Amino acid sequence: MSEPKIVDTATLTVGDKTVELPILEGTEGPRVIDVRKLYAETDMFTYDPSYTSTASCDSELTYIDGDVGILRHGGYSIEDLTENSSFLEVCYLLLHKELPNQAELTEFETTITNHTMIHEQLRNLYSGFRRDAHPMALLIGVVGAMSAFYHDSTDINDPQQRLIASHRLIAKMPTIAAWAYKYTVGQPFVYPNNDMSYAENFLHMTFSVPAEEYKPSPAIVRAMDKIFILHADHEQNASTSTVRLAGSSGANPFACIASGIATLWGPAHGGANQAVLEMLAQIGDKKNIPEFLERAKDKDDPFRLMGFGHRVYKNYDPRAGVLKASADEVLEEVGAANDPLLDLAMELERIALEDEYFVERKLFPNVDFYSGIIFKAIGFPTSMFTVLFALARTVGWIAQWKEMIEDPGQRIGRPRQLFTGPTERPYPPIGNR
């Protein structure tokens, strides 16, 4: 990776000290003030508890302009990629930072296809869970356990092992995810069929039963593949930052990805796609929208408009736009063109985007607002929605992890704090407390 270039200097005066801090510039987006020497020179830390103004790394993978609503991977817009590419081609782009030629793509597809099965012993892990376990809990458990099965790809210092681990995670997530669904609905596991494409194989493992083959329409397969592309990577979001921090300690890639899955589960992050469908069910009818919008604005009410708002996007999330269009296509395809849920969601969006509270705070629909409507139309239960997000985001997590490990300047991440607790005091005997 190229070193960011110093383009200017920031002068900081702290008491009687003046500190000159380099200003670094990337290829686009905000410049950064390099504060790495701040503590050494001022005995002070920066303070940014939820990292609203902090760049944790430099990266060549994904660029977001939240003000305009731009998302690009390797310089290619998400609109171009969803229109022209396949999920596996985007996986190659994220792993190698260039689009593949035909020979490279064919080889990559063959490699991934040949890694779709999981170790037969991993099957036994599922039976340790209750049938009513949330599929995300199974995903965390099985992915974390992969480090106990694939010892030949846990040495993070071996480029070949890093690549094999990346291939294994991308290839096996659909199998692990589909089996998490099968286990919770009490149906037998369906093995991958390597004659199928990535998305088709996943749908096959999820919805086929021994009694009859599930044959998804090409339109549904294409929609699934497109949705995977839309969820592939998203710069330094909470789960990706977790994967990077876990990886900075030298933890093996499977453990790091399990930490990313755990973080994604939260309703403020990837868990929002499940929460949106639960919210729409709670609203129930268009006539109730005003009441729920008032609740969303009420600071004393924990209700939030799920699928709305974003730390970075202060404009329409470009992924939501593509998903909204896909929702129409999928609903048409499955004969649910007049799904009341989509109607309700679109009316909710229309009213919210005219409401001063949302306009003032630049709260727009995000990736999670429409995805659940599509997932439900295809046949997934709401409990599987965040699993689908994790399946697709695995390539982003592992590509960011790989980029960090391959950065020669990489060190363990270790933030500091502003201590506000008690100063030193004598230990009181228990009788005196």
Active site residues: 310, 368
CB of 325 to ligand SDX, least distance (A): 18
The C-alpha atoms of residue 225 and residue 366 are separated, in whole angstroms, by 19
- Contact between 268 and ligand SDX by CB under 6 A: the answer reads yes
CB of 211 to ligand SDX, least distance (A): 37
The C-alpha atoms of residue 112 and residue 172 are separated, in whole angstroms, by 9
- Contact between 376 and ligand SDX by CB under 6 A: the answer reads no
- Contact between 363 and ligand SDX by CB under 6 A: the answer reads yes
Helix or strand or coil: residue 13?
strand
The C-alpha atoms of residue 432 and residue 426 are separated, in whole angstroms, by 12
- Tell me the chain's radius of gyration from C-alpha atoms: 23
- Contact between 309 and ligand SDX by CB under 6 A: the answer reads yes
> By C-beta, is 212 or 356 nearer to ligand SDX?
356
> By C-beta, is 60 or 155 nearer to ligand SDX?
60
Of the candidate residues 92, 254, 265, 308, the single one contacting ligand SDX (CB under 6 A): 308
- Contact between 136 and ligand SDX by CB under 6 A: the answer reads no
> By C-beta, is 253 or 307 nearer to ligand SDX?
307
- Contact between 310 and ligand SDX by CB under 6 A: the answer reads yes
Cβ 339 vs Cβ 324: under 8 Å:
no
Q: Are strands 32-33 and 76-77 parallel, antiparallel or unpaired?
A: unpaired
CA distances from 87 to 73, 82, 239, 271 (A): 12, 8, 20, 22
- Contact between 306 and ligand SDX by CB under 6 A: the answer reads yes
Long-range contacts: 339-342, Cβ < 8 Å, 24+? Answer: 339/373, 339/377, 341/277, 341/280, 341/373, 341/376, 342/373
CB of 71 to ligand SDX, least distance (A): 9
DSSP states of 236-284: S-HHHHHHHHHHHTT--HHHHHHHHHHHHTSTTTTTHHHHHHHHHHHH-
Chain residues 197-256 in contact with ligand SDX, contact rule CB under 6 A: 234, 237
- Contact between 333 and ligand SDX by CB under 6 A: the answer reads no
Cβ 403 vs Cβ 59: under 8 Å:
yes
> By C-beta, is 233 or 333 nearer to ligand SDX?
233
Beta bridge partners of 71: 64
> By C-beta, is 197 or 239 nearer to ligand SDX?
239
Residue 230 half-sphere exposure toward CB, CA atoms < 13 A: 28
CB of 297 to ligand SDX, least distance (A): 7
> By C-beta, is 205 or 395 nearer to ligand SDX?
395
- Contact between 296 and ligand SDX by CB under 6 A: the answer reads yes
- Contact between 304 and ligand SDX by CB under 6 A: the answer reads yes
- Contact between 283 and ligand SDX by CB under 6 A: the answer reads no
**In the complex, which residue's CB is closest to ligand SDX?**
309
Q: Which stretch binds ligand SDX (CB under 6 A): 39-47, 277-285, 300-308, 400-408?
A: 300-308
- Contact between 359 and ligand SDX by CB under 6 A: the answer reads no
What six digits make up the tokens of 89? 């081609």
> By C-beta, is 71 or 331 nearer to ligand SDX?
71
> By C-beta, is 275 or 378 nearer to ligand SDX?
275
Size of the site for ligand SDX (CB under 6 A): 21
- Contact between 349 and ligand SDX by CB under 6 A: the answer reads no
Angle at 331 between CA 330 and CA 332, to 5 degrees: 90
CA distances from 110 to 3, 34, 106, 206 (A): 35, 43, 6, 21
Chain residues 312-331 in contact with ligand SDX, contact rule CB under 6 A: 312
- Contact between 367 and ligand SDX by CB under 6 A: the answer reads yes
CA distances from 371 to 26, 90, 335, 340, 382 (A): 32, 19, 18, 15, 11
Of the candidate residues 272, 334, 373, 384, the single one contacting ligand SDX (CB under 6 A): 272
CB of 261 to ligand SDX, least distance (A): 13
Longest dimension (CA), the chain: 79
Which residues of this protein are in contact with ligand SDX, per CB under 6 A?
234, 237, 268-270, 272, 296, 304-312, 361, 363, 366-368
